[in-house]
Structure 1
Amino acid sequence: MHPEFIEIPFLHLSIKSYGLMMVVGFLVAVMVIRYLSRHFTRDPEIITNAALYSLIAGVVGARAFFVIHYFDQFRDNPWSVFSIWNGGLELIGGVVAAILVIVLYGRYRKVPIRHYLDVLAIGLAAALVFGRIGCFLNGCCYGKPTDLPWGVRFPYGSFAYSSQVQADPERQRRQPYFALPDEYFGYVNEQGRYIHDLKPLRDLTPEQRERVTREPYLARPVHPTQLYSSLGAALLGLILYGFLRRAQRAEMREQYLVLTKPGSIFSLMFILYGIMRFLMEMIRDDNPFEAAGLTISQLLSIALVILGVFLALYFHRSQPERLPAPKMK
Structure 2
Amino acid sequence: MLYVIPYPTIDPVLIAIGPFAIRWYALAYIVGILFGWWYAKRLVSNARLWGKDGSPITPVDLDDFVLWATVGIIVGGRIGYVLFYDPGAFLAAPLTIFEVWHGGMSFHGGFLGTTIAMALFCWKRGIPFLSLIDVIGPSVTVGLCLGRLANFINGELWGRPADVPWAMVFPNADGQPRHPSQLYEAALEGIVLFLVLRILTHKQLRLRQPGYVAAVFAMGYGLARIISEFFREPDIQIGYFSGGLTMGMLLSVPMVLAGLGLLIYVRRRDRV
Smaller-chain TM-score range?
Answer: 0.7 to 0.9
Q: C-alpha distance in 1, partners of 2:206/2:117?
A: 29
- In structure 2, the partner of 1:14 is 21
Query: How many residues are aligned here?
Result: 249
2:179 equivalent in structure 1? 223
8 A contact 1:16–1:87 mirrored in 2: no
Q: Select which of 12, 15, 20 maps to 1:3.
A: 12
How far 1:61 moved relative to its partner? 0.9
Q: Does 1:144 align with 2:160?
A: yes
Which structure 2 segments of 5+ residues have no match?
1-8, 50-54
Which of 136, 140, 156 does residue 120 from structure 1 map onto?
136
The answer to whether the 8 A contact 2:108-2:251 is kept is no
Measure the CA separation in 2 of the matches of 1:278 and 1:66: 18
Residues 160-189 of structure 1 deviation map (CA, whole Å, 9 limit, x = unaligned): x1xx2xxxxxxxxxxxxxxxxxxxxxxxxx
Stretch of structure 1 that moved more, 100-109 or 298-307: 100-109
> 1:66 maps to which residue?
81
Shift of 1:263: 0.9
Map 1:303-318 to 2 at 5 A.
Answer: 303-318=254-269
Quick one: distance in 1 between partners of 2:72 and 2:259?
22
TM-score normalised by L of structure 1: 0.70
Q: How does 1:133-172 map to 2 (within 5 A)?
A: 133-155=149-171, 158=172, 161=173, 164=174
CA RMSD, Structure 1 to Structure 2 (Å):
2.1
Whether 2:227 is the aligned partner of 1:279: answer: yes
Matches for 1:164-203 after TM superposition, within 5 Å: 164=174
Deviation at residue 118 of structure 1 after TM alignment: 1.2
The answer to whether 1:75 aligns with 2:26 is no
Give deviations 1:211-242, integer Å, cap 9, x for gaps: xxxxxxxx222211111111112111111111
Conservation of the 8 A alpha-carbon contact between 1:144 and 1:223:
yes
Q: Which has the higher contact order (CA 8 A, sep 6+)?
A: 2
Give secondary structure in 1 for the equivalent of 2:91: coil
Give the counterpart letter for 2:245 in structure 1: L
Distance 2:94 2:206 in 1: 53
Instruction: Confirm or deny that 1:25 pairs with 2:25.
Output: no
Distance 1:296 1:308, change over 3 A: same
Specify the alignment match of 1:236 in structure 2.
193
Q: Distance in 1 between matches of 2:69 and 2:15?
A: 26
Q: Higher mean Cα deviation, 40-49 or 134-143?
A: 40-49
Tell me: CA distance 1:124–1:310, structure 2 relative to 1, closer, same or farther (3 Å): same
Structure-2 residue corresponding to 1:192: none
Match of 2:4 in 1: none
- Give the letter for the 1:44 counterpart: P
Aligned-partner residue type, residue 230 of structure 1: A
Secondary structure of 2:205's partner?
Answer: helix
Q: Distance in 2 between matches of 1:113 and 1:75?
A: 36
Other structure's SS at 2:227 match: helix
CA contact under 8 A between 1:22 and 1:134: conserved in structure 2? no
Q: Is the 8 A contact 2:160 2:179 kept in 1?
A: yes
Q: Quick check: which one's helix share is greater?
A: 2
SS of 1:147 mapped into structure 2: coil
TM norm structure 2: 0.84
CA contact (8 A) 1:247 1:262 kept: no
Matched AA of 2:256: V
2:205 maps to which residue? 248
**Residues 34, 146 of structure 1: CA spacing in aligned structure 2 closer, same or farther, 3 A cutoff?**
same
Q: Which residue of 1 aligns with 2:218?
A: 270
